[in-house]
Amino acid sequence: MRRHYGEPCASHGGDQERRHGHADRSTRPHDLLPVTGASAEGTALCRHAHLLVAAVLRGRCVVGIGTHRYVAADYQARAARARRRRRLQCTGAWGGSDEGRGPVLIGVDIGQSACKVTALRADGTIAGERNASYPTHHPHPGWAEQNPDDWTAAADRACRELMATLGDRAQIEGVGVTAAAHHGVILDASRTVIRPCILLSDGRAADEAAELERRHGDKILARGRNRITAGWTLAHLRWLALHEPEAWSRVRHVLFAKDYVRSSLTGDNVTDWIEAEGSLLLNAATRRWDDLLCELVPIDRAALPAIVAPEQVVGHVTSVAAARTGIPEGTPVVAGCSDTAAEAYAAGAIAPRQGVVKIATAGNVNVMTEHPLPSPRYFTYSHPIPGLSYHAVATNSAASSRSWLQHVLGTESGDQYAELDREMESVAPGSDGLLFHPYLLGERAPCFDVTLRASFVGIAAHHTRGHLLRAVLEGVALSLADCADVAKRAGLEFDEARLLGGGSRSRLWAQITADAIGRPLLRPSLTDASCGAALLAGVGAGVFSSIREAAERCSRVVERIEPDAQRAAGYARLLEIYRAVREEIAPFARALREVTF
């Protein structure tokens, strides 16, 4: 019998049914009612609504919306969560500001080099945080891989340490997991990892991506709302199919980074639709795996996970996972979403014309819109807030540019940061005619040129270490201003932006960035993707009544950084020079690569 897509496969369904507590109930094929938004099916659903409700309440019906599934137990769980929410409000345990009192939500973020776990109270205050790192492997130049089991080990360790600090009185109400998108994990029939995960920063699939863009670029953009490059899961899987056929022949399941870690807690086999968009295998409009995009790999849709909403409870912490992590057995776990979506949500960027400026290893300017406006010049994703989209214009080297220069100068020690900041503050805006282009790893927006290289222009004998460092901060800020201009020309306007990322902790860098972009920057109380995962867990567990309410209740602005009009005008002129110099030196950067001795 043909399996309805989105239902569990035979090898996984039994466990799924037992976790939801209705293994003894038989779901017949005709009990599944697809709801896709088409008018005829919507009319039919409304006509038979009373039958649907009765079937759901009897626990005999599975309702499929797109490719995700809702089971009767989930409807019953929603009612239970509503009751729990009323109980928390009535007992006064809602805010949880007293130590050890009130609901606590756990957010797990699988970052580029470490896992961060945050315990968040229902009033938005942080009860505790822990980190655990893991290595990145570079088996060849331009390659970057991580072992998925290193992620789970790090998450277990960080959770265990965090739970030890929270104590037995903590009321753990839910868990959410997030990670960078585009990180596909390939598994065999026994759900064992076949090979390390190819990371977003890995460039090995450049040729495969270029060929896919040349032959199918318009179709990929139309279906997936994004342009294919070497960093997407579609390109990674295509490379594996062509270059590692033995490993590829063993693939039976594909999960994504956060889903692999979450499944170690629950045993589930799902993803959310934001994460699925990051694979470029999803039809973003229908939220179903797309036949044409899957055929480009090629991969069987049956190998891909079912798709659910980010806030949906997809399982509960098993006894085995509880022993590893210290999180109580039976704690509900939600699907979660990608890290950029989670951190924007946690920061309070939850309405059109709001933005996010991020100064992390890479840099981003993200703009929230009421509807998706896809373009080959930036990334387009759904937002956790229903109906909202966000668009990411990215620069490759942001905080990593400062780290690189401090490494070269031998000033990496943490106790030197204050001294270096004083040196940079003593240098006038514009760094006395010194200009830096932060193209250490080529560049994404606005030129998408992997051959571009970083450069100092205008260096003179009077320039000091402070000049070099300030020029780097200004160069990154100008690159972010370049990204903001790409967004503006595409109709992606924002009035103000939440400021995120490790680089934003520098007050000088934050002010330079506000001046260069020419818009106010808001420093939010919640800045980490793990906080967004925790908020989604709170929605799924019934601590909050809606996704929007969770962010409005918990996320606050703690500082507003206004641009200085005079400096903003100066940086606007400097941006024109920055672009002109880039155009002039780009051919020489390519020519230098071809020189041999």
Name all domains of the chain by residue range, CATH numbers in brackets. 99-340 (3.30.420.40), 399-491+504-509+566-593 (3.30.420.40)
pLDDT tier for residue 56 given thresholds of 50, 70 and 90: very low
| 73-84 mean pLDDT | 53
pLDDT tier for residue 141 given thresholds of 50, 70 and 90: confident
pLDDT tier for residue 415 given thresholds of 50, 70 and 90: low
Name the pTM for this structure.
0.83
Residue of 387 and 61 predicted with greater confidence: 387
pLDDT digits (tens, 9 = 90+) for 190-208: 999 999 999 988 889 999 9
Please give the pLDDT value at position 168.
84
Which two tokens mark 201?
């920063």
Residue of 60 and 261 predicted with greater confidence: 261
What distance, in Å, lies between the first and last C-alpha atoms of the chain? 66
Q: Which of 560, 500, 193 is nearest to 349 (CA)?
A: 500
CA-CA distance, 301 to 303, in Å (whole number)? 5
Residue of 74 and 536 predicted with greater confidence: 536
Q: Picking from 38-47, 308-317, 386-395, 532-541, which range would have the lowest pLDDT averaged per residue?
A: 38-47
Residue 28 has pLDDT above 90, yes or no: no
Please give the pLDDT value at position 2.
33
Q: Picking from 215-224, 410-419, 515-524, 548-557, which range would have the lowest pLDDT averaged per residue?
A: 410-419
CA-CA distance, 447 to 445, in Å (whole number)? 5
Residue of 416 and 139 predicted with greater confidence: 139
Residue 506 has pLDDT above 70, yes or no: yes
| 343-372 mean pLDDT | 96
Residue 398 has pLDDT above 90, yes or no: yes
| 53-73 mean pLDDT | 39
Please give the pLDDT value at position 591.
93
Please give the pLDDT value at position 47.
37
pLDDT tier for residue 486 given thresholds of 50, 70 and 90: very high
CA dihedral angle for residue 433, residue 439, residue 444, residue 450, rounded to 10 degrees: 140
Residue 1 has pLDDT above 60, yes or no: no
CA-CA distance, 551 to 88, in Å (whole number)? 18
pLDDT tier for residue 353 given thresholds of 50, 70 and 90: very high
Contact 155, 261 (CB under 8 A): yes
Angle at 338 between CA 559 and CA 438, to 5 degrees: 65
CA-CA distance, 92 to 438, in Å (whole number)? 51
Q: What is the per-residue DSSP string for 288-303?
A: EE-HHHHHTTT--GGG
Residue 6 has pLDDT above 80, yes or no: no
| 142-161 mean pLDDT | 96
| 217-230 mean pLDDT | 96
Highest mean pLDDT: which of 97-111, 273-287, 432-446?
Answer: 273-287
Contact 313, 217 (CB under 8 A): no
Please give the pLDDT value at position 198.
98
Cβ neighbours, 10 Å, residue 289 = 24
Contact 529, 501 (CB under 8 A): no
Q: Percentage of the chain surpassing pLDDT 90?
A: 76
Beta strands 103-110; 171-179: pairing state: parallel
| 209-233 mean pLDDT | 96
Please give the pLDDT value at position 102.
85
Residue 26 has pLDDT above 90, yes or no: no
pLDDT tier for residue 19 given thresholds of 50, 70 and 90: very low
pLDDT tier for residue 79 given thresholds of 50, 70 and 90: low
Look over the chain and give the mean of its residue pLDDT values, rounded to a whole number.
86
pLDDT tier for residue 470 given thresholds of 50, 70 and 90: very high
SS3 call for 20: helix
Residue 49 has pLDDT above 50, yes or no: no
CA-CA distance, 121 to 170, in Å (whole number)? 10
CA-CA distance, 381 to 277, in Å (whole number)? 7
Radius of gyration of the chain (CA): 24
pLDDT digits (tens, 9 = 90+) for 305-348: 999 999 999 999 999 999 999 999 999 999 999 999 999 999 99
Please give the pLDDT value at position 260.
98
Please give the pLDDT value at position 316.
98
CA-CA distance, 543 to 538, in Å (whole number)? 5
Residue 38 has pLDDT above 50, yes or no: no
Q: What is the per-residue DSSP string for 422-436?
A: HHHHTSPTTGGG-EE
Which two tokens mark 71?
């089971």
Q: Which of 100, 117, 98 is nearest to 109 (CA)?
A: 117
Angle at 557 between CA 554 and CA 558, to 5 degrees: 110
* Region for 382 from its dihedrals, namely left if φ exceeds 0, alpha if ψ lies in -120 to 50, beta otherwise: beta
